């Protein structure tokens, strides 16, 4: 059965575009039933409109408290009845109610080789620590910060003349490969969580 996926984005949505491309090529056995965003000015909205994907805006600024916002976000997600929720550049930390609702059914892309460099400015953290390899991680979401079971990772070499932007741009190229691949594996029912590990069935 074709899976229903919802992508949640805060900004430009380049990883969302990578998923759209994979869907259009038939590389992922799924339908993207909605783009959900907390930002009514997100460029990802234009990408969704171009691909004829419905857009749901849950504007963070329209709610008096984070709790009220998260209640609205959870209601919006439930309305789409997703098999998988994909955080693709969503810039907020989700509360426990949403994480628990979609345990094992929500994945995130992070621009670092977890468990190193969680949170914001991962590329800056990598450069400050002088690492020789950086990259990206796709992981299941749990109640920790960027700490859920890892699905897959892709590496890039850190160059001597890298700054935050050049490193981020090279990592982003790998993100555009890694995230659609992880979505495909999920939608093909090939992922099993065993404790801290994710097993990929051949």
Neighbours of 43 (CB within 10 A): 16
DSSP 3-state of 18: helix
Cβ atoms of 27 and 176 closer than 8 Å? no
Look up residue 88 and give its two tokens.
Answer: 């693709």
Report the C-alpha gap between 24 and 91 in whole angstroms: 26
Q: Is the bond preceding 167 in cis, omega lying within 30 degrees of 0?
A: no
Rounded mean pLDDT for each run of 10 residues along the chain, 202 residues in total: 96 98 97 98 98 98 97 98 98 95 98 96 96 98 95 98 97 98 98 96 92
- DSSP letters, 89-101, are S--SPPPHHHHHH
Predicted pLDDT of residue 117? 97
Q: Is 110 a catalytic residue?
A: yes
Structural domains present in the chain: 3-200 (3.40.50.170)
| Average pLDDT of every residue of the chain | 97
């Amino acid at each position: 059965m074709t899976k229903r996926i919802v992508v949640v984005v805060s900004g430009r949505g380049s990883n969302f575009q990578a998923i759209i491309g994979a869907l259009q090529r038939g590389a992922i056995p799924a339908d993207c039933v909605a783009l959900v965003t907390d930002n009514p000015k997100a460029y990802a909205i234009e990408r969704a409109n171009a691909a004829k994907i419905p857009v749901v805006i849950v504007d963070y600024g329209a709610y008096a408290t984070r709790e009220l916002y998260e209640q609205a976000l959870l209601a919006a997600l439930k309305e789409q009845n997703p098999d998988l929720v994909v955080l693709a550049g969503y810039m907020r930390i989700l509360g426990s109610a949403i994480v628990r609702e979609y345990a094992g059914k929500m994945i995130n892309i992070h621009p670092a080789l977890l468990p190193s460099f969680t949170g914001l400015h991962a590329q800056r953290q990598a450069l400050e620590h002088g690492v020789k390899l950086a990259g990206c991680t796709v992981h299941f979401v749990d109640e920790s910060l960027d700490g859920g079971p890892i699905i897959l990772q892709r590496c890039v070499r850190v160059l001597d003349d890298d700054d935050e932007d050049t490193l981020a741009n090279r990592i982003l190229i790998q993100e555009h490969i890694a995230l659609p691949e992880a979505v495909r594996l999920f939608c093909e029912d090939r992922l099993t969580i065993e404790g801290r590990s994710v097993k990929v069935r051949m």
